Amino acid sequence: MKKTLIALAALGAMAGAAQAQSTVTIYGLLDANVQSFKTNVAAGAGATATLQSLTQTKIDSGGLNGSRWGIRVSEDIGGGMAVIGNLESGFNIDTGASAQGGLLFGRRANVGITSGFGTVTIGRNSSSYDDVAGDHAMMGATIFDPSNTNNGNSITTLTALNTAAAAAAAAPTPANAAALRGALVNVGAAFLSRNTTWVGYNTRFNNSVKYVSPNFSGFSGSVMYALGEDKTAGVGATPGTNASKTVSAYLKYANGPLLVSGGYQSEGFSRAGGGTPALENSLISVAYDFGVAKVGAGFNRAKYKDVAPGSSTAAQKEWNLSVAVPLGATTLSAGYAQSKGDDLGKATGYGIQALYSLSKRTTLYAGAQSTKTYDNLVNTINLFNAATPATASNIGRVTTYGAGIRHTF
């Protein structure tokens, strides 16, 4: 009997130790808001396509942060090393539908190892650029932040534009002219309907490997590489496509009230006939906490490269200034941003927001954001429409007013 009790006690101790070495955490965030949103949309197609203004009052998800739930796992394997994993599912709280294109774990799905040398994860990762993209934004990359860059603008609209333009130049038929006009309107609508000034980037990548270094006296770094895995072979006269490889990296210094970081991302897109078009972003951020207020400044260069063979757009030069002032349970923030380039035109915007902490996990918020886009592509659209270029109607205005609640668990 005594031996049995000793054995049971030993098994209990072993089970307790095993439990201490492995953890599973379930977490989440719920964010819903009511907003009024005014933007530009493309109406019609081909030669009859036009840009129209649209105002919508709606209940939306993710005013401050995207709604999500997730699971984190960690197992201590000794020697200062641990196996880690993260599954994170995004969803729209206004409809209950999955976000990120309906993916089950669209925000994150990875497994890896962490130790004194850093952390390596494999799977679907957030990009290293995305990790520092909001360092300069005292408004926290919310829907009221005019420099919020995680809007995932795609290169595909510009690729379609170049394809249509090449066809129209080679054979100026009415059909090709109509196709070009339709492409121009779609591209114009995409850029005129931006609710932020900056061009944007994609935040997460499948089939990727990511490394994050330890913190060395305030210095840290990261690199991510996504394989694309969409290369195809050519068939007869039809050429194959290259893989849409993406590379992303950051370097960061954060010590006391000062933060300085730099990020780079080149996200590739597959295309038949060789070459890999890419959207490049290069960012430098500076932030300083004075106690009574925290200020930040960001400078970014965005460029579409090789959108058609041998054709690239001029770089967009982008900057942002913002400030956040804590007043007890309330934090007031404001920001101003601009993006300017010879090909895509100019966009300016400002935003204001107020946060009120009901508790450690619940925040009420309200704010407004307005963006004006002077799109060079609209002038080309007007030429095909026999209208006068550079009129007031060529200016795209996007305005958002909203209020909501965020809860974390």
Q: Give me the residue label for tokens 């952390």.
A: 119
Predicted local confidence at residue 337, as pLDDT? 96
DSSP 84-108: EEEEEEEB-TTT--BSGGG-TT-SE
Q: Is residue 277 classed as helix, strand or coil in its secondary structure?
A: coil
C-beta of residue 205 within 8 angstroms of C-beta of residue 228:
no
Pairing outcome for strands 219-226 and 68-78: unpaired
Domain limits of the chain? 25-408
Count Cα atoms within 13 angstroms, Cβ side, for 103: 16
C-beta of residue 116 within 8 angstroms of C-beta of residue 213:
no
Tens of pLDDT along the chain (409 residues) come to 455 445 444 444 444 444 558 999 999 999 999 999 888 766 766 556 666 778 899 999 999 999 999 999 999 999 999 999 999 999 999 999 999 999 999 999 999 999 999 999 999 999 999 999 999 999 988 999 999 865 555 666 666 666 676 676 677 777 777 777 677 666 666 666 667 789 889 999 999 999 999 999 999 999 999 999 988 888 877 778 888 899 999 999 999 999 999 999 999 887 776 677 899 999 999 999 999 999 999 999 999 888 766 677 789 999 999 999 999 999 999 999 999 988 777 889 999 999 999 999 999 999 999 988 775 555 544 444 444 343 434 567 889 999 999 999 9
Rounded to the nearest 10°, the torsion over CA 340, 142, 286, 343 is -10
pTM (predicted TM-score): 0.86
Residue 13, phi then psi, degrees to nearest 5 = -65, -40
C-beta of residue 115 within 8 angstroms of C-beta of residue 80:
yes
d(CA 375, CA 157): 15
CA 331 from chain center: how many Å? 24
Reading the block at residue 120, the tokens are: 């390596």
Reading the block at residue 363, the tokens are: 């925040």
Q: Give me the residue label for tokens 């996200």.
A: 267
Reading the block at residue 119, the tokens are: 């952390």
C-beta of residue 313 within 8 angstroms of C-beta of residue 157:
no
What's the CATH class of domain 25-408? mainly beta
CA 395 from chain center: how many Å? 25
